[in-house]
C-alpha cells in the first residue's frame, strides 16, 4: 500500500470529529458560508439561541469558539441547543485561532483540542451537558444586572425608533391585502416545522396571510404553501422559496444598506426595503400590525424572559419587547391556536354516526323491497362520506 494511503487511513482512524474549517469573527457572515459537515470557527461571547439554531440548520460537524460561550452574565441558550443536536462545542480557545486557521483547512476536534493533521493548533474546553448545566446555574446570578441593562436599552431604543413603534412610520407598503385578515408569521425557531403541521386545519379554514421569516419561509415552501410575504435577508433563503413568494421585504440598516438585496436583483425578483434596527421577526410583526391585521398567529417565535435576554444583539432585545407590547392582544402563539382548533369530535365517532345513518337507510330500503340497486347507491354514498370526513381531520 502506498504511503499516502496509509496516512489517509491513519487520519481516518483518529478519534474525534473532522471537517473543513470555516473561519470568521462575525457570526452573520460565517453562517452564510457554511455547508453540511463544516467546522464553524467564530468569536462570540455568550453564544445566543439564534446563532445556535442557524448552526444546527447548517448541519455543521462542530463549533470552535474563541470566546466563552457562556460568560455567566445570563443563562444563554446557544450551547445547550448545539449539544442537544449532537454538535461538539470547543470553547474559549483564544482569538489566536482566528489568525492561525484559514478557510478550507481540514480540522479535527478531540478532547478540547483543535488539530490540523498531527499538530495541535489550539486548546479549550469541550462542553458537555453537565458542564453547560453547571454554567447555566451560575449564570442565573447575573440576570439582575442583565435586566437593568435591558431596561436602559429599551428606553434608548424607544427614543430612536419611537416613530416606527408608536405610529408605524417607515413600514413599507405591500400589495398583499392584510387589513381585517388573520396573519400567520412563521420563523425558524425550535420545532417550528412541527408547529406548522399542527396548524393545517387552521390554515385551511381561515386562509390567513402567510408570512415567512428567513428559514420560516423555506419551511412554508417545503410544506406546500406559497408565502404571501417573505421577510429577511435573502442570502439565507432558498432560491425557489424567493421565487415562489408574492412579495419580499428586505430589512435594511438605518443607513439604507440592505444585505442580500444584490441577490434579489440578480434573481430578477421585486422587493421593498424596511429600514429599522429591529430583527426580521419583529419587522414581520410590525408589518402585519401596521397594515391592519385582525389577528397575528406566530410559529417559531419565542419570547419568554430567557429569550429576551438571549437575543445576542443589543438592539433586538428592546425591539422584541416593544413589538409585542404594540401588538398586544392581537398576538397569539401558534401552539395555542392548534390546541384550540382541534376537532372536538374524533374521526371514529363521526364515522360511527354516519355508518348508523346509512345502515338504517339500507335496512329501510331492504324492508320496503325497493331493490339491490338502491342498496349499492347507499353503500357508495357511505364511502364518499367517509372520505370527506377523513379530509376534515
Choices 3.40.50.620, 2.70.98.50, 3.50.30.10, 3.40.50.720: CATH for 3-127:
3.50.30.10
User: For residues 220 and 212, is the Cβ–Cβ distance under 8 A?
Assistant: yes
**Is pLDDT at 209 greater than 60 in this prediction?**
yes
Give dist(CA 165, CA 217) in Å, integer. Answer: 24
- Mean pLDDT of the region 43-49: 89
Q: CA-CA distance, 106 to 124, in Å (whole number)?
A: 18
CB 51 within 8 A of CB 78: yes
Q: At 177, list the grid cell.
A: 391585502
- The predicted pLDDT at position 344 comes to 46
Convert the pLDDT of each residue in 368-393 to its tens digit.
555 555 555 555 655 665 565 555 45
Per DSSP, helices labelled H in 168-260 are 192-198, 200-206, 215-222, 239-244
Angle at 276 between CA 289 and CA 178, to 5 degrees: 25
Which spans in the chain are helix H? 3-13, 27-31, 49-57, 78-84, 96-100, 129-139, 143-167, 192-198, 200-206, 215-222, 239-244, 261-267, 280-290, 305-309, 316-327, 334-340, 347-368, 372-392
With vertex at residue 57, the alpha carbon angle to CA 52 and CA 61, rounded to the nearest 5 degrees, is 80
Compute, in degrees rounded to 10, the torsion defined by CA atoms 10, 12, 13, 19.
Answer: 130
How far, in Å, CA of 154 to CA of 283, rounded? Answer: 16
What is the distance between the alpha carbons of residues 351 and 382, in angstroms, rounded to a whole number? 9
**What is the rounded distance in angstroms from the CA atom of residue 2 to the CA atom of residue 233?**
49
**Mean pLDDT, residues 67-80 taken together:** 86
Share of the chain above pLDDT 90, in %: 38
Span 293-297, mean pLDDT? Answer: 95
- Are 196 and 222 contacting, i.e. CB atoms less than 8 angstroms apart? no
pLDDT tens string 126-157? 999 999 988 888 777 666 666 676 677 777 77
- The pTM assigned to this predicted structure is 0.60
Residue 352 has pLDDT above 80, yes or no: no
* Per-residue confidence band for 19, with pLDDT thresholds at 50, 70 and 90: very high
Amino acid at each position: 500500500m502506498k504511503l499516502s494511503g496509509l496516512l489517509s487511513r491513519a487520519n481516518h482512524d483518529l478519534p474525534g470529529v473532522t471537517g473543513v474549517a470555516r473561519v470568521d469573527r462575525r457570526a452573520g457572515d460565517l453562517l452564510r458560508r457554511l455547508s453540511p459537515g463544516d467546522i464553524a470557527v467564530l468569536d462570540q461571547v455568550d453564544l445566543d439561541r439564534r446563532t445556535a439554531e442557524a448552526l444546527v440548520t447548517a448541519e455543521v460537524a462542530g463549533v470552535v469558539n474563541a470566546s466563552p460561550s457562556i460568560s455567566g452574565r445570563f443563562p444563554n441558550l446557544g450551547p445547550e441547543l448545539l449539544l442537544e443536536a449532537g454538535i461538539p462545542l470547543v470553547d474559549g480557545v483564544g482569538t489566536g485561532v482566528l489568525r492561525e486557521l484559514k478557510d478550507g483547512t481540514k480540522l479535527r476536534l478531540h478532547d478540547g483540542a483543535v488539530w490540523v493533521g498531527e499538530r495541535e493548533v489550539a486548546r479549550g474546553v469541550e462542553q458537555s451537558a453537565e458542564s453547560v448545566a453547571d454554567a447555566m446555574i451560575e449564570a442565573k446570578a447575573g440576570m439582575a444586572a442583565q435586566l437593568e441593562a435591558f431596561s436602559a436599552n429599551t428606553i434608548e431604543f424607544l427614543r430612536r425608533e419611537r416613530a416606527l413603534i408608536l405610529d408605524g412610520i417607515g413600514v413599507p407598503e405591500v400589495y398583499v391585502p392584510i387589513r381585517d385578515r388573520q396573519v400567520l408569521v412563521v420563523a425558524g425557531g425550535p420545532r417550528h416545522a412541527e408547529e406548522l403541521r399542527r396548524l393545517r386545519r387552521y390554515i385551511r379554514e381561515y386562509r390567513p396571510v402567510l408570512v415567512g421569516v428567513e428559514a420560516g419561509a423555506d419551511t412554508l415552501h417545503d410544506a406546500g404553501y406559497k408565502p404571501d410575504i417573505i421577510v429577511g435577508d435573502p442570502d439565507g433563503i432558498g432560491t425557489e422559496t424567493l421565487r415562489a413568494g408574492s412579495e419580499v421585504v428586505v430589512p435594511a440598516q438605518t443607513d439604507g444598506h440592505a444585505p442580500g438585496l444584490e441577490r434579489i436583483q440578480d434573481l430578477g425578483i421585486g422587493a421593498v426595503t424596511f429600514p429599522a434596527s429591529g430583527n426580521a421577526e419583529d419587522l414581520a410583526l410590525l408589518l402585519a400590525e401596521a397594515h391592519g391585521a385582525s389577528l397575528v398567529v406566530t410559529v417559531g417565535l419565542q419570547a419568554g424572559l430567557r429569550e429576551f435576554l438571549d437575543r445576542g444583539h443589543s438592539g433586538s432585545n428592546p425591539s422584541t419587547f416593544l413589538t409585542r407590547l404594540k401588538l398586544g392582544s392581537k398576538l397569539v402563539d401558534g401552539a395555542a391556536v392548534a390546541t384550540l382548533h382541534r376537532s372536538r369530535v374524533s374521526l371514529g365517532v363521526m364515522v360511527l354516526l354516519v355508518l348508523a345513518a346509512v345502515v338504517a337507510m339500507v335496512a329501510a330500503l331492504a324492508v320496503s323491497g325497493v331493490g339491490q340497486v338502491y342498496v349499492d347507491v347507499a353503500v357508495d354514498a357511505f364511502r364518499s362520506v367517509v372520505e370527506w370526513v377523513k379530509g376534515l381531520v
